Amino acid sequence: AHFSTDPNLRPSGRLELRTQKSAISQFRGLKFLGARFDEGDSIIFLRKEIFCGFLSAGKASVMASSLRLYLTCIRNTLEAAMCLQNFPCQEVERHNKPEVELKTSSELLLNPVLICRNEAERCLIETSINSLRLSLKVKQADELENILTKKFLRFLSIRAEAFQVLRRKPIQGYDISFLVTNYNCEEMQKQKLIDFIVQFMEDIDKEISDLKMSVNTRGRLVATEFLKQFL
């Protein structure tokens, strides 16, 4: 009854919802993040076949438009979730800890939101009163991509200091994690942070496929050179 029906807020395309609270379509405001669901996480699942109706070109357009939708969904969720404030620790005096990592006071945590593009790609956003944790699972089609992703993201995670919002270790089950605290929001603009994260997600895919291509190319060149001696 109290959700706005502004069409600009709903991402284009339909989303299948696995929860009863159909207000997932409205990402502004923390109505769904604040609600105490009983059925656990809310899952937003993008169905690929829906987009076949919208496009004229082939598979590339399908991937592109579902990527856009996925990223818009994440962006809207982050805009609602990244409302952080300074909050001293309730458990330990004179300390200030990111509550999403601590998880001792359940009233300070909000419901985590899981956004799935397909079975392989997922994004988990957990929020609390002073911090937000975003974990990504990147698409890994074959073994080579698996190794490349792991090495590349490990390379980035080790240099997490330079990124400030990156977490050194990804959450169990995911490839990379971000930890945004209220201090980050005070120093930097929220919109720019969200832009960074969304851009990061876009570029990860391109980077992994570039790496894979270069590995394959090099392998082919090396093999050709090696086998030339047997000609």
| Footprint on this chain of another protein (rule: CB under 8 A) | 2-4, 6, 28-31, 33-36, 64-65, 67-68, 71-72, 79-80, 83, 85-90, 93-94, 96, 105, 107-108, 110, 129, 156, 159, 162-164, 185-192, 194-196, 198-200, 202-203, 207
Residue 5 vs 229, nearer CB to another protein: 5
> Closest approach of Cβ 180 to another protein, in Å?
13
Of 127, 166, 130, the C-alpha closest to 41 is: 127
Rounded to whole angstroms, how far apart are CA atoms 162 and 149? 20
* Beta bridge pairs of residue 42: 113
Residue 217 vs 223, nearer CB to another protein: 217
> Closest approach of Cβ 124 to another protein, in Å?
20
> Closest approach of Cβ 196 to another protein, in Å?
5
Rounded to whole angstroms, how far apart are CA atoms 189 and 7? 26
Buried residues in 138-173 as b, exposed as e (16+ CB within 10 A): bbbeeeebeebbeebbeeebeebeeebbbbeebbee
Residue 192 vs 228, nearer CB to another protein: 192
> Closest approach of Cβ 92 to another protein, in Å?
9
Residue 102 vs 185, nearer CB to another protein: 185
Residue 88 vs 219, nearer CB to another protein: 88
If one counts every other C-beta atom within 10 angstroms of the C-beta of residue 30, the result is 14
Residue 115 phi/psi, 5-degree rounding, is -115, 115
